[in-house]
Chains A and B, each alone.
Chain A
Amino acid sequence: MDSLKRLFGLSVYTKISARACLIASLVLFVALIGVYLLASHERHQENPNDKIMPTISQLTQGVQKMATPDRNGEITLMVDTIASLKRFFLGVIAGATMAIALGVALGLFPIVEAVFHRFLLYLSKIPPLALLPVIFIFSGLGESTKILLIIVGISLPITLDTYLRVKKDLPREQLVKALTLGASTPAVVWHIVFPQIMPAALNSVRLNLLGAWLFLIAGEAIAADAGLGYRIFVVRRYMAMDTIIPYVFWIAFLSFSLDALLSWWIKRHYSWYEERN
């Protein structure tokens, strides 16, 4: 009884071992798969042609179909992944670079803040998906539109987050100190502000990766000839859950790996930041 109480206690006095933690975090994964298999089995008992909840073997077949070369010798899954990742990276890198630079400028230079801050705050309240038709009308159905959508979608939140970090987390004393050591304004920005703000800004990028996926898939759903989002919306017409489900998990896996990669990068290159906090 006592130990049970302890197990559900607050973090100040309850510790869970790494192994127990691993087991505990597997519980929901196993439960999800179990419930799915059970439900899928039930449905196939009633209707052997059920398409909504494919069985494991049907899913495997679906993956196989996508992962082996078709008539033209192209592997659909590969083509889709490459097309999507290309858009994703171009959009995220361009968007994040501009956003971080603008955020730093907003936080450091009162004149930039005075001109841009309220304006950007207002713009950031527009849901990017509401702008989707506007962007498609103005810049057509090409590649650049899909990349532009990602940029529009992620850059404002990253800009405003970086701005806040510069304002709140970077003590003014640091800037004065650098100036008293003879640094010029560009040197302060380059040697003091950017390196100190980078880990926080990259964490902000991490949080916005999900948004980037959202806008990528939305863009691909409307106009594309390849891509992960395009594919799931195409096969939806045939209710091909045996393709959709593996694709969704694949997207989740890619997104999870990118996030882990970025997190690892921050830990490695900004050890002072991780340890200090």
Chain B
Amino acid sequence: MDNTLSYMLRLEHLTHGYDGKIVLNDIDLKVRTGELVTLVGPSGCGKSTFLRLLLGAESPNHGKVFIGGTPKLRPDKDCGVVYQKYSVFPHLTVLNNVAFGLNVASSTITERAVSSVCSRVSGRPMFSYARQCKDNLVRAEEILCQLELEGVLDKYPHQLSGGMQQRVAIAQALIMKPKVLLLDEPFSALDPWVRRQLQLLLAKIWKSENMTILFITHDLEEAVYLGTRLLVLSPHWRDGKKKGSGSKIMADISIPSLYDFDAMDELEAMKIQREKADDIRRLGFEKRTDENLIPPEKFLLQHPDSKI
């Protein structure tokens, strides 16, 4: 069945570049609801550009991005995002950071301005908006408890560790139930142990909420560990005799599920991942010399939805 509507995220002939230099070259991709797609690539391969295009923060030179069937024109509620840095608002407490999305959704800006003035004057919540805000805070608190952040509700982000800040960022995105959640190297700056914890947490949430996730990282082991499907974005390919320009998706692989985290022995899991990662590394993740660059059609593209 190739009904395009059944894909949550769809890219058609996506090509983008700056000042005449191609960064992304004719990328096609279809992602189904509930997939956890990880995208790896060497540094400078255009991962951040790719993310901006998906978010609608930039419009592609050619091609289109569809989220749930509708073309993506600018950043909106359809795509949630967690960045490596700057994901949380430094001027809001943890609780208000998480409630932010709900708060802006429950009223217009004039209602908020009027009710915040009135509430301040009268000392208690006025109008339905202010009462709605209270409900929002309750919901935010629930999500924060799920992520084991109940102790830091009234703290500011700068008072938290890096791992906790990323948890807040995840909670903040999660509460809006986006169609697609994009994560851009969210755990790259964290200690290995904290990182592993957050990976497990993300996997758990993904499973329980049946979310569609695109996870961008430069760490192959992490990509293999988390993904149900792994994409390699790489500029190292051959176009006829020449080296190709811009990055393409050079591998699109389904990964057997590793999500029985509770049952699986950690060491065993890590071993399987390492083997998987080595396979993919051989496939073309690493830089090759000009002679043995591979044309894109030679890659092992096992995923049923992949097409070149």
Contact = CB atoms under 8 A, between A and B. Distances in A.
Interface stretch (A5-13, A120-128, A266-274): A266-274
B100 interface: yes
B89 A180 contact: no
Interface stretch (B39-47, B101-109, B231-239, B291-299): B101-109
A192 B109 contact: no
Contacts of A182: 76-77, 101, 104-105, 176
B90 A276 contact: yes
A195 B104 CA distance: 15
A177 B81 CA distance: 7
B170 interface: no
A196 B109 contact: no
A180 B85 contact: no
User: How many B residues are at the interface, by size bracket?
Assistant: 20 to 34
B91 A273 contact: yes
- Among A171, A177, A272, A276, max chain B CB count under 10 A is at A177
Nearest to B83: A173
A126 B159 CA distance: 44
A192 B89 contact: yes
A275 interface: yes
B176 A272 contact: no
Contacts of B57: 172, 176
A180 B86 contact: no
B158 A272 contact: yes
Interface in B68-116: 74-77, 79-81, 83, 85-87, 89-91, 100-101, 104-105, 109, 113
Interface stretch (A111-119, A156-164, A183-191, A251-259): A183-191
User: How many A residues are at the interface, by size bracket?
Assistant: 20 to 34
A178 B96 CA distance: 13
Contact of A184 (B86, B101, B104, B159): B104
B77 A190 contact: no
B178 interface: yes
A240 B74 CA distance: 67
Contacts of A187: 104, 109
B55 A191 contact: no
Given A174-B89, A192-B89, A272-B90, A180 B104 contact: no
B38 to A, nearest CB: 20
Contacts of B172: 177, 181
Which 10 pairs across A and B sit closest by C-beta, in order of nearness? Answer: A181-B101, A179-B75, A173-B86, A171-B86, A182-B77, A276-B158, A272-B156, A183-B104, A195-B91, A186-B109
Given A181-B100, A196-B89, A275-B158, 10 more contacts: A173-B86, A179-B76, A180-B76, A180-B77, A180-B79, A180-B176, A181-B176, A183-B104, A186-B109, A273-B91
